[in-house]
Amino acid sequence: MIDALNHLPRPRAGADQLAEAFSDLAPPLTARQAAVESARCLYCYDAPCVNACPSEIDIPSFIHRISDENLQGAAERILSANILGGSCARVCPTEILCQQACVRNNAQECAPVLIGQLQRYALDHAGFTEHPFQRSPASGKRIAVVGAGPAGLSCAHRLAMHGHDVVIFEAREKAGGLNEYGIARYKLVDDYAQREVEFLLGIGGIEIRHGQRLGANLSLGELHAQYDAVFLGLGLAAVRQLGLADEDAPGLLAATEYIRELRQADDLTQLPLADRCLVLGAGNTAIDMAVQMSCLGAREVNLVYRRGVSDMGATDHEQEIAKHNQVRLHTWARPEAVLLDDTGRVRGMRFARTQLVDGRLGDTGETFELAADAIFKAIGQRFDDASLADPLAAQLARDGERIQVDAHMQTSVPGIYAGGDCTALGQDLTVQAVQHGKLAAEAIHAQLMLNVEAA
């Protein structure tokens, strides 16, 4: 249980009611719906939806196979580009990627083909009796992958396909990374993240070692010396701080910590509930936190952001989910002080009104207060510098706090590659992390085979 919130009450709703509140956000398509929706695709020759997909899935091709009732063929086409296509179909912001680019998303129709839901339909109904991809003959090469999140898993699977042996070093007791610990519960239901990991491992040649944390009981220098290549899929494990007094008071917590607890909870009725809840931030994590607290039964949920709506990181779709769940959005407000009760616990927060002055954010001089039983920080993740504390890791070039990589996902140290949120590429999306892992695996394979030929 989360110590900082132990003083809070538990949800009033029963287990059945909470289960309903956290049921699938987007119910799957029926066979009839999938048939009708797939028939809407124009199978564009130069499909803009493919260009908008970070993992380069051949979207017209897999939709055409659905239309032909070849679901296994559709699934294979998806998985050949994105081995985590099932989770990406559920959590990917298709509304700003492939579906936004769909040619049917125009002023006359305003109704793009539901690409994400069709992708989910194909993978949910493929009915594989064995893993759809076979390993190449054993290469005798061993690669270390640090982090069993989307980037690391994608990299490991593609390397295993090429016949290499892979050892994944994972700090937590479960693989899956963000999909397992950081996504809203209503987006990935029925333990889907673990089922997808088990499917991925079905190719063979991949070993996962849990309880292995880089910078603690794992050294990058040792991995570099012991393995033929190393891939870093570290994510962003540390939480940004507000820089305010009393930030460690009971009742103030990182949103990611609560979401992790919620996703791992067997009994939602035992989670601490803040009747009056404050969420700081404007990204998808902030929305996930606010909506889930509302689903648990909070009477008042306020989401506060220091800039305007147009600057919010959360998509319009995510914002609509928040509004549908009675989350109140306050913009142009900066956290100024944590307010405590007589026992030293959080009772609210004081905010300074903000505005843009010559393009820079400043205060107006006005303040206001919001009462809260708990405050959740969702102001961004940051790189955990402790993970790169050994001498070799210190040599890695950085873009700000993140690891610098080239177009082949290689770092400044030969033989070490990186991908996902720990790099400075892109938008920190699951689908993008999968692509990074895939690209890194292909680069690692090409380099290893080049070395074999040279020898």
pLDDT per residue as tens digits for the range 151-166? 999 999 999 999 999 9
pLDDT confidence band for 453 (50 / 70 / 90): low
What is the length of the chain? 455
Render the burial of 285-318: b for 16+ CB within 10 Å, e for the rest.
bbbbbbbbbbbbbbebbbbbbbbeeeebbbbeeb
Measured CA to CA in angstroms, residue 232 lies from 144, 148, 441 at distances of 9, 10, 11
Spacing of C-alpha 223 from chain mean position: 26
CA nearest 304: which of 260, 340, 349? 349
Structure tokens at 392: 């070799």
In which residue ranges of the chain is CATH 3.50.50.60 found? 142-237+383-454, 239-380
Structure tokens at 317: 């779709």
User: What percentage of the chain exceeds 90 in pLDDT?
Assistant: 86
What backbone phi and psi angles, to 5 degrees, belong to 85?
-60, -25
Where are any strands of DSSP class E within 79-195?
142-146, 165-170
d(Cα 151, Cα 104) in Å, to the nearest integer? 32
Q: Which helix (H) or strand (E) holds 35?
A: helix 31-39
d(Cα 18, Cα 9) in Å, to the nearest integer? 15
- Asked if 366 contacts 387 with a C-beta cutoff of 8 angstroms, the reply is no
- Asked if 378 contacts 283 with a C-beta cutoff of 8 angstroms, the reply is yes
Can you give the pLDDT at residue 283? 92
pLDDT digits (tens, 9 = 90+) for 72-114: 999 999 999 999 999 999 999 999 999 999 999 887 777 999 9
Render the burial of 243-272: b for 16+ CB within 10 Å, e for the rest.
eeeeeebbbbbbbbbbbbbbbeeeebeebb
Neighbours of 27 (CB within 10 A): 9
pLDDT confidence band for 3 (50 / 70 / 90): confident
For residue 428, pLDDT over 60 is answered with: yes
Structure tokens at 241: 């701080």
For residue 30, pLDDT over 60 is answered with: yes
For residue 280, pLDDT over 80 is answered with: yes
Can you give the pLDDT at residue 350? 98
- Domain 142-237+383-454: CATH class, spelled out: alpha beta
Can you give the pLDDT at residue 1? 56
CATH classification code of 31-124: 1.10.1060.10
For residue 352, pLDDT over 90 is answered with: yes
pLDDT digits (tens, 9 = 90+) for 313-322: 999 999 999 9
DSSP state of 405: -
Average pLDDT over residues 391-397: 92
pTM listed for this prediction: 0.94
**Helices 71-81 & 59-67, crossing angle to 10 degrees?**
170
Can you give the pLDDT at residue 337? 97
Can you give the pLDDT at residue 45? 86
Can you give the pLDDT at residue 455? 53
CATH classification code of 239-380: 3.50.50.60
- Asked if 396 contacts 423 with a C-beta cutoff of 8 angstroms, the reply is no
Can you give the pLDDT at residue 29? 96
CA nearest 49: which of 86, 85, 103? 103
Average pLDDT over residues 226-248: 93
Query: What is the per-residue DSSP string for 350-387?
Result: EEEEEEEETTEEEEEEEEEEEE-SEEEE-S-EE--GGG
d(Cα 232, Cα 168) in Å, to the nearest integer? 10
In which residue ranges of the chain is CATH 1.10.1060.10 found? 31-124
pLDDT confidence band for 127 (50 / 70 / 90): confident
Structure tokens at 120: 């989910």
For residue 34, pLDDT over 90 is answered with: yes
Measured CA to CA in angstroms, residue 156 lies from 5, 69, 402, 432 at distances of 38, 31, 22, 16
CA nearest 177: which of 428, 412, 362? 428
d(Cα 38, Cα 64) in Å, to the nearest integer? 7
For residue 451, pLDDT over 80 is answered with: no
